[in-house]
Chains A and B, each alone.
Chain A
Amino acid sequence: MSRGWPLWEVFVRSRRGLSHTHVGSLHAPDAEMALRNARDVYTRRQEGVSLWVVPSAEIVASDPGEREAFFDPADDKVYRHPTFYDVPEGVEHL
């Protein structure tokens, strides 16, 4: 039966103000059930205030074989890091 149920990726927002974070995947027959299943599988211990489910087949991923071309050129560009700014005290999520 599992073979007939598509895979869904689950994203949980743990509290207001934070982004949804990928937490894992699950099987479900359709979107409505996927959302319910996500509630049961991933938010049993008060982990979230909001849920997203996305069909895994709809995710477009970068190719691991092209990793170097994709990511290495950023290696020597330290000026892109915001390390030259002072972070104000008390700001948790900048």
Chain B
Amino acid sequence: MTRKYFAYPYLAWMVLFIVVPLLLVVYYAFTAEAAGTISFSLQNIAGFFSTTTLNVFAKSIWLAVLCTVICLLLAYPVAYILASSKINSRTLMVWFVLPMWMNFLLRTYAWLIILDSNGIINQVINLFGLPSAQLLYTNEAVLLGMIYNFLPFMILPIYTALTKIPRNLYEAAEDLGANSTTKFFKITVPLSMPGIISGFTMVFIPSITTFSISRLLGGAQTMLFGDLIENQFMFMQDWHAGSAISFVMMILMLISLYIMTRYEKAGESSGGLW
């Protein structure tokens, strides 16, 4: 029984840095300040549904969907190869996790140097006598930065799910005359579904609120949702509006997560990270 006391510091941490901030967000989201008095208000929540905000939201969703789908397409083969490789795949995994030990901004800055018009790629292009291409400050550069930063979050859960598939299922399938295509679509894909869903949420949620990537790699030409929240808090000093859009965003996330977990129930396996 005494052991549970060791959990209290963590509990205090959770309350202080997760629950309280969330409550503050909710508080600011539903209040407005007029002439020094704070009162209950829904105007900030309504602000989320203005054309201006919805435009930003639509653009962020589109970019996040693109990023997640491309991550999935890239990550699945990688995870598959890693999971089925004969050599010790754990050491291989380290190479995918290693870049994450570096600071996120630093990694994004590195792309700045690679994509720059005097950058590494253009220097190579110039070697062949071709003119420099405009790589930086494009939508593609933003997408590239996002994919690069979030790809490991897709590979890891899929890899975990794949390694948990019992070998004897394949043997049984072979006994019953299944070829490799059938095995892949009847066993591998369904059983790795929890990993895919985990990866999907782990990439989609942060990518929808990405901020600073579009400023660094996109030349600040598009304002994404994360940038909008920053704009409201830091520039407009409007904590109420900033909290309101963050709050609506959280609700939307929870709904999408709920739908996804319902779907996952069908698979009834907990191969995901969560």
A binds B: no
Binding site for A on B (CB under 8 A): none
Binding site for B on A (CB under 8 A): none
